[in-house]
Structure 1
Amino acid sequence: MQRVESEVDLDQILITEDEILGCLARMGKQITADYDGKDLLLVGVLKGAVMVMADLARAIDRHVEMDWMAVSSYGSGTKSSGVVRILKDLDTDVAGRDVLIVEDVVDTGLTLSWLVANLRSRGPSSVRIASLLRKPDAMQMEIDVDYVGFDIPNSFVVGYGLDYGERYRNLRCIATLGEQAHE
């Protein structure tokens, strides 16, 4: 395992790098088939989806365009505030496009539900969702995630783009933190 922080910071590795890359390869193959002949725009949700977006885009065997949005409902804590703010909007017009939102984790579904509604109001041909992780037990809104990598427990996780106080994003795995890391 890559040593980014003290190894005692991590409580448990839930998903290894190899498992993540294998999953994204399968998702990419399915997305390639599903969007054959379509004008696909990947919309990554900053900052957490950077790693997922990069590896998923490379796993899609066709031309894709990419753009980014930054929305926030977390602040600096580990629980969603429920208030969504756009920190960075798209540079691309989505009207008439097939949009695939790329997420790191679907947690409560509140932010993603808002984002889907916002993008649909802009007139795309379709809006679908791909997420590396989903927490079914945390869901507060019914959200249809079209491509799901892994369902995980309702625990706070870090790595592969996910952070705690802007740390741990560059871990190559998904892990939970030990209590001492929260201090």
Structure 2
Amino acid sequence: MSDLISVLNKNEIAQSVFSTAQKISSDFKNRELVMVGVLKGAFIFLSDLVRNLTIPVTIDFVSTSSYGSGTSSSGQIKLTKEIEIDINKKNVIIVEDIVDTGLTVAFLIHYLKSLGAEKVKICTLIDKQERRETDVKVDYACHVVKEGFLVGYGLDYAEKYRELSEIYHLKL
């Protein structure tokens, strides 16, 4: 793994996920909450996040496509798996592995609001503003990272590296 440089270790990830879950639990105490994980990248983060919540939550998933096997977004977002539960008049948090250009999150906010979501907030493991192309507000960010192509803990490059328990910068 000489092409990988450590960015975040297991303990740093676990602590930030715990802290973020506590903040969400506080913010949504006594309110119905739906968390929508963005497949495939967010599945590990979402799993750890919900296990640290102290409030009930409903979970669903969506899937989008914009990267293919490359390292940069094509800019064309398409929905490849729709949400399956009713979110009309409910509080929704989109759970992403990484917010980079912001295009996918902006697309999903519009999509979920079109289904009647009362509020849509964004929670991400990694907020990477280096290539942000649209003004999206990240409400909950575990880590802010300046730059680099990141893999591990669900993040991939061409469907590889998701299984790594830590986050690394991949030297391409």
Query: Could you say which residue in structure 2 is the equivalent of 1:3?
Result: none
Query: Could you say which residue in structure 1 is the equivalent of 2:2?
Result: 8
How big is the shift at 1:165? 1.1
How many angstroms apart in 1 are the aligned matches of 2:80 and 2:31?
29
Any residues of structure 2 matched to 1:155-166 within 5 Å, and which? Answer: 155-166=148-159
CA deviations 1:131-154 (Å, max 9, x no partner) are 010111211111101001111122
Q: Secondary structure at the match of 1:151?
A: strand
Q: Secondary structure at the match of 2:2?
A: helix
How many angstroms apart in 1 are the aligned matches of 2:161 and 2:41?
11
Asked if 1:147 corresponds to 2:152, the answer is no
CA deviations 1:6-28 (Å, max 9, x no partner) are x2231x11111110110010000
Query: Could you say which residue in structure 1 is the equivalent of 2:107?
Result: 114
Aligned residues: 172
One-letter identity of the residue aligned with 2:28:
Y
Structure 2: any 5+ residue segments left out of the alignment? none
How many angstroms apart in 2 are the aligned matches of 1:109 and 1:125?
21
Of Structure 1 and Structure 2, the greater helix share is in: 1
Asked if 1:132 corresponds to 2:125, the answer is yes
How many angstroms apart in 1 are the aligned matches of 2:83 and 2:169?
32
CA deviations 1:110-135 (Å, max 9, x no partner) are 11111101111111121001001011
Q: Secondary structure at the match of 2:130?
A: helix
Match of 2:97 among 97, 104, 107: 104
Look at both structures and tell me which one has the larger radius of gyration over its CA atoms: 1
Query: Could you say which residue in structure 2 is the equivalent of 1:77?
Result: 70
How big is the shift at 1:178? 3.0
CA deviations 1:22-74 (Å, max 9, x no partner) are 00100000000100111100000000000110000011111111000001111
Q: Secondary structure at the match of 2:115?
A: coil
Structure 1: any 5+ residue segments left out of the alignment? 1-6
Q: Secondary structure at the match of 1:165?
A: coil
Asked if 1:168 corresponds to 2:158, the answer is no
Residue identity (%)? 39
Query: Could you say which residue in structure 1 is the equivalent of 2:27?
Result: 34
TM-score when normalising by structure 1:
0.91
How many angstroms apart in 2 are the aligned matches of 1:85 and 1:17?
32
